[in-house]
Amino acid sequence: MDSTGHSAQPTPAWDRPRTAVVTGAGSGLGAAIAHRLAAEGARVGVTDVDIESATTVAADIAEAGGGAIAVEMDVGDQGSIKAGMSDVREAFGPITILVNNAGITPSAKFLEIDGETFDRVMAVNLRGPFQCCQAVVPDMIGAGWGRIVNISSSSAQTGNARMAHYAASKGGLISLTRSLALDLGRKGITVNTIPPGFVETPSLHAAAEAGELGEGIHQHIPTTPMRRVGQPEDIAAAVAFLVRDEADYITGQVLGVNGGRTIV
């Protein structure tokens, strides 16, 4: 177990070595997912627009005995996506697991959302995952096996005040998931989405600090059936299940991990 409390001792979840890419893996959900996949035996491309944070996560994984490489990647830029995937492929071979986690969560009143901001949210949160999928699906087709997990948001299911652009982008990600599941199922590739809700991440704390959660995070715990704040490891566990060989008959699904706050 490393200094962050993550264990990366391989307990293989697949019948052969797998290479995974996790976007936005320098912190929060992405870091937890990268650690968990490494712990299950995957070789992980830890990608993030912040290369320093990605390097720290990859180093922690390596220190704990896992395989990881840090890659600078801006999912809002197609050239950056192609270059980043190429770096992972060169280090570990064909990419057969993709977790589209990177995203931005701006908040603004509806009439104050300008076109530039809207386009940036869509570029990162929706077009980015679309282009990441295009970059790695040929590897998956070649292997006859693949796993794609898109991290959407409970905001896509319920809506969210002051986040119309964000909720719309995540709603599009759910629709993209279902469509790709239909397109790729016969190729041995599953595509699922997890919409987290009320999970302790930097963005949740930023929302609390901005006064968008009323009296703070603690105010919302009693309204959560599980009576606690979700942890990044809760999301990572769900991702780990969906990418295992045993999940071969699960595709096109929306698996809410939200402590029961959203049931759709």
Verify whether residue 166 is a known catalytic residue. yes
- As a whole number of angstroms, the distance between CA 238 and CA 223 comes to 22
Token look-up 């009693």 returns: 222
28 — alpha (psi -120 to 50), left (phi > 0) or beta?
Answer: left
Q: Are 124 and 48 in contact (CB under 8 A)?
A: no
SS3 98: strand
Cβ-based neighbours of 176, under 8 Å, separated by 6 or more: 126, 129, 130, 133, 150
User: Which residue in the list 166, 169, 204, 259 is annotated as catalytic?
Assistant: 166
| CA 99 to each of CA 21, 103, 128, 224, 262: distance values in angstroms, whole numbers, following the listed order | 6, 12, 12, 27, 22
Distance CA 11, CA 9 (A): 7
Give me the active site residues, please: 166
